C-alpha cells in the first residue's frame, strides 16, 4: 500500500520529468526540441514542489464545503500546504516568460542561418 501513496507517485513523476527534460536539453540537436526539453524540465520541478506540500488524506487549500465536512471541522487539520502552491504559481509564470524568450531567440537564430541545428551555431566555440 505504501507504493500507491499519491505524494510519492507525484514525487516520482516529478523526478522522471526532470530527468527526461535534462536528457532533452543535453542530447537534442534541434533548438525547438531543446526548448521543449526545457519546458518538460520546468514542469517536472513544478510537480516536485507541489508534491512536497502534499499531506496524505487532505483536501485543496480552499475553505468550502469539502473542508467543513472533513473530520475535526478544522482548517488546520484538513488542508494541504498552501505555500508551495503559491510559490509554484510564481515559478510557472517565470517559466512562461523564459520559454517565450527562448522561442523568440530561436526565431531570430533561424532567420540568421536558415537552420535550427545547434551544431551550426559554433561562432563562440573554441
Partner 1 sequence: MLRNLLIGLVLAGFVFIFYNLYTTYEPKTELTGIAAHYAENGALEVGAANLVTAVVVTYRGFDTLGEITILFLTASIIAFFLKLNKEDEDKIIIHRGTSELLITASQILIPMIMLFGAYVFMNGHLTPGGGFQGGAIIASAVALSIMANPNRQINHNVIIWVESISGVSFVLLGVLGIFLAGGFLDNKIIGLGEFGTLFSAGAIPIIYSFVGLKVGAEISNILNKYQKSQKES
Phi and psi torsions of 30, nearest 5°:
-85, 135
Note every long-range contact of 8-12, with CB atoms under 8 Å and residues 24 or more positions apart, other chains counting. Answer: 10/47, 10/50, 10/51, 10/54, 11/48, 11/51, 11/52
Binding residues for partner 1, rule: CB under 8 A, are 5, 7-8, 11-12, 15, 18-19, 22-23, 26-27, 52-56, 60-64, 75-77, 79, 81-83, 85-86, 89-90, 92-94, 96-98, 100-101, 103-105, 107-108, 111
Neighbours of 5 (CB within 10 A): 12
- Report, in Å, the least distance between residue 83 CB and partner 1: 5
- Report, in Å, the least distance between residue 107 CB and partner 1: 6
- Report, in Å, the least distance between residue 98 CB and partner 1: 8
Amino acid at each position: 500500500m505504501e507504493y500507491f501513496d499519491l505524494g510519492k507517485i507525484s514525487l516520482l513523476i516529478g523526478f522522471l520529468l526532470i530527468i527526461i527534460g535534462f536528457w532533452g536539453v543535453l542530447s537534442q540537436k534541434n533548438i525547438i526540441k531543446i526548448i521543449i526539453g526545457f519546458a518538460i524540465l520546468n514542469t517536472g520541478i513544478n510537480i516536485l514542489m507541489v508534491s512536497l506540500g502534499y499531506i496524505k488524506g487532505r483536501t485543496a487549500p480552499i475553505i468550502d464545503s469539502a473542508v467543513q465536512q472533513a473530520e475535526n471541522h478544522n482548517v488546520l487539520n484538513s488542508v494541504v500546504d498552501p505555500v508551495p502552491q503559491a510559490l509554484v504559481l510564481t515559478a510557472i509564470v517565470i517559466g512562461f516568460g523564459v520559454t517565450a524568450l527562448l522561442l523568440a531567440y530561436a526565431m531570430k537564430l533561424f532567420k540568421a542561418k536558415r537552420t535550427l541545428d545547434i551544431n551550426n551555431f559554433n561562432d563562440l566555440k573554441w
